[in-house]
Amino acid sequence: MILINSVRMDDDSASLCCCEYYDINYERNHILACCCNCEDLDEAFESLITRQGVTEKNKKGLMMTMKDRFRIPWKGGAKQVAFDAILPIFILPTTLILASISLWWTIFAFTSVIIFLILISSFLIRTLPHTKFFFVWSLTSLIILYVIFEFIVIPFLEILLEENIALSILIFGFLICGFIMKKRTKQLPRLGENELEKGLISKSYYRLVNCSICQVRVPDKDHHCVWFDCCVGKHNQCAFILSLFFAIGALLYSSNLTLTSVCHPFILYKTILLPDDCSEVYKLFELGLSFVSAIYSLVVACLLFILFLQQLLLVSLGITLKDWVRLPLRVKLCLGLTANRPNSKGFIKNWKAVLCWNRYFSSSFSQM
């Protein structure tokens, strides 16, 4: 093992080579020493060998060290690469390629991904709350599905130009709403101060909640959406609901177009087609890849549809997702209608609060 002597930044003004960098302790280090002098790694192995549980502090320290030491050689010094953000770029394409081999590979690949996401989600949220893993997963899914549709499904010559344009409009609507969500969240600190001075946000109506991840005060915070990497509150809840609507529409429409192109379709009503026989999709790689991408789109669309209905219910009731989680099961079975909702102003005013924020931000953007 190569031993690298760490030198303090203040004591050494020499330029860095392509494999050197300054770590989180402001010490000069080398990427070949990524496994050297890692106390958290030693403690983790010792805990596993002695059959003792690894503490949360040790997990966080290990993840921070890994994040700091995961670098690539670069001119002027090794550049840090977020390993958690790179994982989806490799995992998702590999999963779709393996799933396109056969039906059993499809079941195995999708089941493995679901288990992996369940396990890694709780781990990353605890150890790396600022992780970009889920946001990159969303972007990677969007790019891969769109590339497969445009460069593999379209050449089958089964998709009309009008259908492709309609799908592109849905995707564009999703991107615009997602952009508005993140932009409004970034403007929260400045807008929060201005709004409080103008008296437009009063403590009797809006609950300003601090988000430890976004580091902003969110009005009536619903939740922090890791897939969009921003908070959802009154300031962008309308855009969030619209983004879900466009995403569901795009996923369902693209999956239907793909399945009716690679499978034998049947006419449901006039020009509406549905897939009938998909037994031959695994004979060609292109057909199999298109098929599994459509299945992936359907699964994601179903999950988003549940979230979409939940958001409609929460806004109508005037409660947040955190409030909903705290409700007892018997109240949830009644759709929250019997719950104590002190912050609810009624169905119309609850939706008006969301739409008023929407109009305010629209006027703010027009003045920028």
Among 41-55, 177-191, 216-230, 234-248, the range of highest mean pLDDT: 234-248
Kind and range of the H or E run holding 219: strand 216-219
> Which residues, at least 6 apart from 175, have a Cβ–Cβ distance to it below 8 Å?
none
φ and ψ at residue 297, rounded to 5 degrees = -65, -40
Query: Distance between CA 24 and CA 64 in Å, rounded?
Result: 9
Spatial separation of the C-alpha atoms in residues 340 and 328, rounded to whole Å: 11
What is the residue extent of each domain of the chain? 20-81, 153-195+204-366
pLDDT at 365 over 60: no
Mean pLDDT of the residues in the chain: 78
Burial environment of residue 20 by CB neighbours within 10 A (0 to 12, 13 to 18, 19 or more): buried
pLDDT score recorded for residue 6: 40
- Pair 195, 250: CB distance under 8 Å: no
Cα dihedral across residues 90, 45, 119, 311: positive or negative: negative
Q: Model's pTM, two decimal places? A: 0.77
Question: Using one digit for the tens of pLDDT, what is the confidence trace for 297-347?
Answer: 999 999 999 999 999 999 998 888 888 888 888 888 888 888 888 888 888
**What are the tokens at 363?**
């006027």
* Predicted local distance difference test score (pLDDT) of residue 56: 63
Question: Given this model, what pLDDT does residue 292 score?
Answer: 95
> Distance between CA atoms of 74 and 315, rounded to whole angstroms?
49
Cα-based torsion angle of the residue sequence 171, 95, 34, 24 in order, rounded to the nearest 10 degrees? 30
Q: Which pLDDT does position 334 carry in this prediction? A: 87
Higher pLDDT, 44 or 326: 326
CB count in 10 Å sphere of residue 228 = 20
